[in-house]
Chains A and B, each alone.
Chain A
């Protein structure tokens, strides 16, 4: 922990001696006094503190927007941190010009974060799409504009930037400061930090920190941390024999963008756009979601239906646990304090397996679900041979509906079969009323989500209208 965090902040090389658990937001505002990065919520829900983190990838630097309020300073080692100040040029950038021209800034408090995120979108060498820009904006709250002028700004941006995306092209066209071209070489000289072997009993293990900073934000800057991110072997997705090995530190965004994952869960990107903002997806880890053990964790609910196996490591020893038996009670896990979830094995489903994820929340996007659920089902003809049904928000743990699955196996996919499952589902779940909804609502949603799975996966056999008509 004593070594300094060595990184670049905009165009400046930094060796920061502050506690590595200090948030990047506090470092920027309190230590560097770069005041363009704003504090709006300290929990990753508003985007006012968005910054870019650039990481070397071969001969390029890949920039991703993240919320600086949930990121530890120590994570910046070897990276390029970009704030709105680092994007400023004597003239306005296309993103800045779009916002000015369309009146898409009013009070201005959310604006720098939006500038940063939209700029990162252009830094990727790809075609600009309205949906892509909207997706980038989705982690940003703006109370003044109602977003309409920001959407006009998107149109303006498409016209003004056209195909000149990517860092080189942006720099060549005066749309990004030239120092960005030097960053790969400058980052390469920063020596890698060694994993903190010294701490055997850290007060906190931290992965993406997107939940830990919300829960324990005041303690982390003063605690002994084990920053898991330094374990390179805990990242990445590798196809193996019969399963896919997902490093526990794989971010949501990396997970949803990986071809192997998309092959198993074809709609994963769509699900993810509702689960978390891009800024959070770039930090939140798949393993963190599991270990966090929220009874309504979206990714966990998916992994539970997929029949994942968890690999837990403690020092040199490791063991595996099926995810279905990992959750023992509310936030209680089959895991000792020294064990780390290092990887997740996803069995590759048989070719005709169907997977669906459903979620209902107050706000459709980026809200914790009232109830969520996933279904993995394989049929032979119309007969269900394999069934995995999970639900979140209906029990103290992410719930695998064992009895309901048993009921379905061997039955035909038809309205009567589904209707026969209603009471079984109700017996398996035990929701409580909370801010996400009353117990009665969650019970009702459990039934409705079950129908929704079948309607989505078997559109030829199951019609929503007919299912609804059969309800009381």
Chain B
């Protein structure tokens, strides 16, 4: 089955929020954001904006009728800043106009009197000053302190990993429509419809059921619309509430860049102890997360960092410390991988440093420490159906790693100004929301009298192929053609209390909920035919290819006849299904538990060529063996692996967020922030699926695929480093990501002395 929306996509007929014809009298909103990083608001001057032609309303904190609060986990985030602003671009006022241009002009007329306060952008500095969010956390296994003395080598170091802009092609947007009474309908490009519903209700001081949220599809999310679609929906709703008119709020690209959070940059310190043979005995890591101005999802992101601090490796003694540090930058948020890439990167740096000191190939130390069945993760869960070694060995065998390494070595011996590098990257990613209660989903299935089927779930289609997966699952479970199945929009009136579409778990949770609903309908349908000639017990009734079989024999009952008969017999053809992931829990007091339903494993091999004269590089080839369980739809899954990989490659190389001293984002649009393009992305990507035998949580034994592939991209950092070390043997290069051509060249020629130091406007890099 192809992507269910593919045909309407290629014809340009798929509708996004603002493609839907506008209702009459619709107004448009634009947002005024703080010009400073940190300051006390003395006065907001809106009178000039209000006086402009085409301006209908200007709304500030005092216009919020309910709670001016949208923090998803910790209530520390105002919808509109009332007294204090904490980052450049923080929303202060919403301007509503008769068209978007008027509204933007109105924004330009607003000024703010502000008493500036000291600002911090560095997470370690924030930590030292006590600017933290939540409590620091420590995950531990074994006894690290006792283990150091048993090690032949102990090395320590520091890492920096930069943030990442999501670059969803569709920017944040929402449309709010007042309904009769005090009800509202919200169209939002959100991964989290219930989150939008809850916060709109809270901001307007009304019960949740007053707000209906409708999501057809997203033009990409990548975590950026998990929590941060909420403010724009709330502002549109606030404007609709005040004006009584429909209001649309769509951010322009530069506004989206400036006002929304990104992947969290981390500063981390590590210490690792190994034996002479490369066995890791102890690992200690301290993560200082640059959370930005508010909590947002930062504490959950940090939790996943800590849970993935040992990645695919078994280390008997681990201590992983992490803290969310509050800084005066836009609040960082969910981004594909959700903290795991940062955790994995640090361990890979530690392993690289140990290998370099031991004079051992990095891949040797990596393989020696891979997880085996029943090994424990630092959080106590045991590795089950562990494919760390399986995928590693399959990848090295399938793609001929020893030969590739010899080829790279030979190349490097015969070339001076260009060098090749090769690196492996194993990934082990836990599937489930780490916040256990979020692991629930529901679905609503209707069968109509002609046999066509309508399915609603709490999952949001953002390109990942959820709707295709749900249709595949439903068709297989019902025994009918996917053409009979329609996947409805995601709507809070059909599905209540949804968890966000994130954590790679959307198909797992919602697909299983669909199966629960379908199970009920099938059970009723089987009762309908039981007792018909030749059908005596419903246990032996099955539906295959739209025909009822009894005990393996085809009957006269078609799907359509079955449905017609059920209907006329007054059988309920609708069902609600509910699914909650079984067997998971987490004890935060002990930092132990079984937080994940299962783990996804995989291994990537990445090869690069480095131009040692110019510091530029080309990613030549990527080879992947990925653990998929039993595939539902390989076209969809392959797309997730390839897309995630390239996003990860961008993260580690060219995607470079920079702010200046005033906290203004310098990489502020697509001209200054470069995401991978068709040339950057390697032509030569091969993906092999390890199709597992074991029964994963499903549905149908399928394993989650959304996030894990992103982390294959981490390997490119070490492939480039390998090439750099071939050019400058023995040099200890910094563990600073992204490894931009600038960072490469300055490190290759660290002796270069610029003749005179100009007075420069110093910029600091996001997280660096």
Does B2 count as interface, using CB distance less than 8 angstroms?
yes
Does B678 count as interface, using CB distance less than 8 angstroms?
yes
Q: Answer whether A107 and B647 are a contact pair too, CB < 8 Å, given A444-B746, A469-B416.
A: no
CB contacts under 8 Å to B, within A227-276, are none
Can you report 18 residue pairs joining A to B where beta carbons are below 8 Å apart? A36-B12, A40-B170, A84-B12, A99-B6, A106-B3, A106-B464, A107-B170, A107-B463, A148-B681, A148-B685, A149-B642, A360-B615, A361-B674, A364-B679, A439-B757, A440-B746, A441-B745, A469-B416
- Cβ–Cβ contact B10 & A144, under 8 A: no
Chain B residues closer than 8 Å to A106, beta-carbon distance: 3, 220, 463-465, 639, 643
- Cβ–Cβ contact A108 & B670, under 8 A: no
Chain A residues closer than 8 Å to B762, beta-carbon distance: 433
In the assembled complex, the Cα of A440 lies from the Cα of B762 at a distance in Å of: 12
- Cβ–Cβ contact A109 & B675, under 8 A: no
CB contacts under 8 Å to B, within A80-118, are 83-85, 88, 92, 95-96, 99-103, 105-112, 115
In the assembled complex, the Cα of A40 lies from the Cα of B251 at a distance in Å of: 10
Contact with A along B666-709 (1 / 0, CB 8 A): 11011110111111110101000000000000000000000000
Q: Answer whether A146 and B613 are a contact pair too, CB < 8 Å, given A48-B169, A83-B12.
A: no
Binding site for A on B (CB under 8 A): 2-3, 5-16, 19, 21, 101, 104-105, 166-171, 217-220, 222, 252-253, 416-417, 462-465, 612-616, 618, 635-636, 638-639, 642-647, 654, 656, 658, 666-667, 669-672, 674-681, 683, 685, 740-742, 745-746, 749, 751-755, 757-758, 760-763
- Cβ–Cβ contact A452 & B462, under 8 A: no
Does A182 count as interface, using CB distance less than 8 angstroms?
no
- Cβ–Cβ contact B760 & A426, under 8 A: no
Give which listed residue, B21, B253, B639, B644, contacts A149 with CB less than 8 A: B639
Give which listed residue, A103, A143, A360, A437, contacts B638 with CB less than 8 A: A103
Q: Answer whether A143 and B168 are a contact pair too, CB < 8 Å, given A105-B6, A134-B678, A437-B742.
A: yes
- Cβ–Cβ contact B10 & A96, under 8 A: yes
Q: Answer whether A143 and B616 are a contact pair too, CB < 8 Å, given A35-B19, A148-B681, A435-B763.
A: no
Does A141 count as interface, using CB distance less than 8 angstroms?
yes
B609 CB to closest chain A CB, in angstroms? Answer: 12
Does A218 count as interface, using CB distance less than 8 angstroms?
yes
Give which listed residue, B5, B643, B685, B760, contacts A144 with CB less than 8 A: B643
| Residue of chain B at shortest CB distance from A111 | B9
Contact with B along A106-138 (1 / 0, CB 8 A): 111111100100000000000000000010011
Give which listed residue, B14, B167, B675, contacts A108 with CB less than 8 A: B14
| Residue of chain A at shortest CB distance from B761 | A433
Q: A100, A103, A447, A452: which has the most chain B beta carbons within 10 Å?
A: A103
Q: Answer whether A472 and B635 are a contact pair too, CB < 8 Å, given A46-B169, A362-B674, A435-B672.
A: no
Contact with B along A22-66 (1 / 0, CB 8 A): 000000000001011110111101101000000000000000000
Does A187 count as interface, using CB distance less than 8 angstroms?
no
- Cβ–Cβ contact B12 & A151, under 8 A: no
Contact with B along A424-453 (1 / 0, CB 8 A): 001100111111011111011101110110
Identify the stretch in A324-332, A366-374, A378-386, A413-421 within 8 Å (CB) of chain B at 4 or more residues: A366-374
Q: Answer whether A88 and B11 are a contact pair too, CB < 8 Å, given A41-B669, A366-B677.
A: yes
- Cβ–Cβ contact B667 & A108, under 8 A: no
Residue count of chain A within 8 Å CB distance of chain B: 92
- Cβ–Cβ contact B643 & A35, under 8 A: no
- Cβ–Cβ contact A151 & B7, under 8 A: no
| Residue of chain B at shortest CB distance from A371 | B614
Chain A residues closer than 8 Å to B21, beta-carbon distance: 33
Chain A residues closer than 8 Å to B19, beta-carbon distance: 35
Chain B residues closer than 8 Å to A468, beta-carbon distance: 416-417, 612-613
Q: Answer whether A464 and B674 are a contact pair too, CB < 8 Å, given A423-B755, A435-B667.
A: no
Chain B residues closer than 8 Å to A141, beta-carbon distance: 167, 169, 670, 675, 677
Does A313 count as interface, using CB distance less than 8 angstroms?
no
Q: A111, A144, A150: which has the most chain B beta carbons within 10 Å?
A: A144
Does A3 count as interface, using CB distance less than 8 angstroms?
no
- Cβ–Cβ contact B670 & A46, under 8 A: yes
- Cβ–Cβ contact B7 & A441, under 8 A: no
Does A363 count as interface, using CB distance less than 8 angstroms?
yes
Chain B residues closer than 8 Å to A314, beta-carbon distance: none
Does A471 count as interface, using CB distance less than 8 angstroms?
yes
Does A147 count as interface, using CB distance less than 8 angstroms?
yes
Chain B residues closer than 8 Å to A105, beta-carbon distance: 3, 5-6, 9-10
Q: Answer whether A109 and B219 are a contact pair too, CB < 8 Å, given A103-B3, A365-B679, A444-B754.
A: yes
Give which listed residue, A103, A368, A432, A447, contacts B671 with CB less than 8 A: A368
- Cβ–Cβ contact A464 & B613, under 8 A: yes
- Cβ–Cβ contact A443 & B754, under 8 A: yes
